[in-house]
């Protein structure tokens, strides 16, 4: 699994909002990417809704949120709609993004519950892994974002 100080790996994928998200698109903007095992499960739904509820606060810090699981794209779209997630989500059925971040459970082939905070230069500034305490991810993210310098506004 990647750690603080590592460069975030490059990726490109279709998101639930119709955009193609990539490191090129995100370049110059900090982002939070949270990986979760499976759409429509209890813990994953709670975690996604907590990110949804905190999304305006995270956006106010100039930071994007992206949710990723190993579900297919349509399942992720259905889940995003069900959870009323206003941030983009990615169905990583090929597991390419999960592998690049090092978050796949061996044998199971599902993502671990891990959240990364990536700065505007693409460097990982926070890694939070709480499989059971799903509410802790958003608390850790908000605490870290408070400590990091707010990115300069872009025009």
Catalytic residues, by residue number, are: 44
Which residues lie closer than 8 Å to 137 by C-beta, 6 or more apart? 34, 47, 50, 51, 113, 115, 128, 130
Q: How far apart are CA 140 and CA 127, in angstroms?
A: 9
Longest dimension (CA), the chain: 46
Residue indicated by tokens 């941030």: 87
């Amino acid at each position: 699994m990647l750690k603080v100080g590592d460069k975030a790996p490059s990726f490109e994928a279709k998101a639930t909002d119709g955009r193609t998200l990539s490191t090129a698109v995100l370049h110059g903007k900090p982002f939070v990417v949270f990986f979760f095992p499976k759409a429509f499960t209890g813990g994953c739904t709670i975690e996604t809704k907590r990110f949804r509820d905190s999304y305006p606060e995270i956006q106010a810090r100039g930071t994007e949120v992206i949710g990723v699981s190993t579900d297919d794209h349509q399942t992720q779209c259905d889940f995003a709609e069900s959870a009323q997630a206003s941030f983009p989500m990615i169905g990583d059925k090929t597991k390419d993004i999960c592998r690049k971040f090092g978050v796949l459970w061996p044998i199971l082939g599902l993502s671990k519950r891990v959240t990364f905070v990536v700065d505007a230069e693409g460097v990982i500034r926070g890694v939070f892994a709480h499989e059971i305490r799903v509410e802790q991810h958003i608390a850790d993210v908000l605490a870290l974002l408070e400590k990091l310098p707010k990115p300069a506004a872009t025009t």
